Structure 1
Amino acid sequence: MDRRIKKTRQLIMDTFIDLLAEKGFEKITINDIAERADINRGTVYLHYVDKFDLLDKCIEKYVELLLNHCANSTDSTLSASALQSIFEYIEENFTIYKLLLNNEKFGFFRSRLYSLIEQTVTQVMGGKSENKAFSNGVASHFLASGFIGVLEWWINHSMPCNVQEITEQLMSMLEPYTKHLVSTDEST
């Protein structure tokens, strides 16, 4: 992709995020974005269909950045280091993730994040489980839902406990799952 196109898209997205923080999604118009970015309104429409498309692309980008960070910094197990990595990244980028979570009336951010977390948990648990209680999808959906719920709580309450504390608490709750996965790994 042409460097100028990337730069323009990033300018539009950054402007959108600034306006999201100031006004909230409902009050933002394409004119607001164009004015603030000092570009023509048609330029915004050249890159994005409307503000809903822009929100969707923004969510897509930040979910992808989170997943890329996790993929690059941890192994593919249900481990304390994997959880800690997620919470550290969210902590470093807290403002943007709080904005996306709180300004998404239609649940795009949550559903996209849920889908990706559930898929990751299924992959981690899938090939390692011989116990039927862990292999029918219930466990992966339970873990993904619980994790998303805790993540939302942590973000919405402005990180009421630090990364180490939340990681330790989650790992103690996940102990039955992680023990099962470790014992299955050791037997193979």
Structure 2
Amino acid sequence: MAEDRRVRKSKKAIKNAFIQLLKEKNIEYITIQQISDLADVNRGTFYLNYEDKYALLEEMEDEQIEKIKSFADFRKLDINNQNAETFIEDFSEKIIKNVVRHISENLEFYQIIFNLERKSKIEEQIADIVRSNLMHLIGNKEDVFGIPVNYYLSYVIGSMMSMIKYWVSDHEQVSIDEFVQYISTIASTGPLSIMKRLVDEKREK
């Protein structure tokens, strides 16, 4: 038990050190010695836990993904006994807000991970979670009201990830509730409907 605590403490120190170094330089230029020195552990301790810095990054990403998977699942919502409007409210409150809150609680990590020069594994995994949830609703259909499924998924996933990444890096970041409301409004109303309202407003002036 004491050994387990020591291992957890060492791994936590290594991860914290890695995060701090990633804030300062590209992952390619970070050495195991730098991580070990900042974490106050020896190189042997690092290699007892991780094959290299990429294995370390992968474990950190996997930990975040597992947390998101634990509460980002459409199947936990009672779709059969809801209309579309109440489902959107339920989805926003129980899934989107939980995901955004999780990201907010680990903001420094996500700020760094979304700014890596390469596309992060976690970004791909979040996209897969969104895709899996949508496919649960779509089922075996080849299109969504005339739109081929892959085109529909590409648009929804791309716009969702873009909004999340923008919010994470925004220096004037709005609150979690405001951000969730933005996502819900755009998702339920649609960008073109919003554009139509803007055009109507201009014509009325």
Whether TM exceeds 0.5 here: the answer is yes
- Percent identical: 22
From the superposition, tell whether residues 33 and 65 of structure 1 become closer, same or farther in structure 2 (CA, over 3 Å): same
Q: Say whether the 8 Å CA contact 2:100–2:176 is kept in structure 1.
A: yes
> Which is greater in Rg?
2
Measure, in 1, the Cα distance between the counterparts of 2:180 and 2:142.
27
Aligned residues: 173
1:61-76 correspondence runs (5 A): 61-70=63-72, 75=77
TM-score, with structure 1 as normaliser: 0.74
Aligned residues: CA RMSD: 3.1
Q: Say whether the 8 Å CA contact 2:127–2:157 is kept in structure 1.
A: yes
TM-score, with structure 2 as normaliser: 0.69
Residue 180 of structure 1 corresponds to none
Q: Does 1:150 find its partner at 2:186?
A: no
> Structure 2 counterpart of 1:153, which letter?
Y
Residue 107 of structure 1 corresponds to 119
Residue 181 of structure 1 corresponds to none
Q: Say whether the 8 Å CA contact 1:69–1:89 is kept in structure 2.
A: no
Residue 119 of structure 1 corresponds to 132
Secondary structure at 2:41 match in 1: coil
Q: Say whether the 8 Å CA contact 2:143–2:149 is kept in structure 1.
A: no
Q: Say whether the 8 Å CA contact 1:122–1:137 is kept in structure 2.
A: no
From the superposition, tell whether residues 156 and 66 of structure 1 become closer, same or farther in structure 2 (CA, over 3 Å): same
Where structure 2 has 5 or more consecutive residues not aligned to the other structure, the ranges are 79-86, 191-205
Measure, in 1, the Cα distance between the counterparts of 2:17 and 2:71.
24
Measure, in 1, the Cα distance between the counterparts of 2:142 and 2:34.
56
- Measure how far apart 1:22 and its partner are: 4.0
Residue 37 of structure 1 corresponds to 39
Measure, in 1, the Cα distance between the counterparts of 2:173 and 2:38.
34
Where structure 1 has 5 or more consecutive residues not aligned to the other structure, the ranges are 178-188
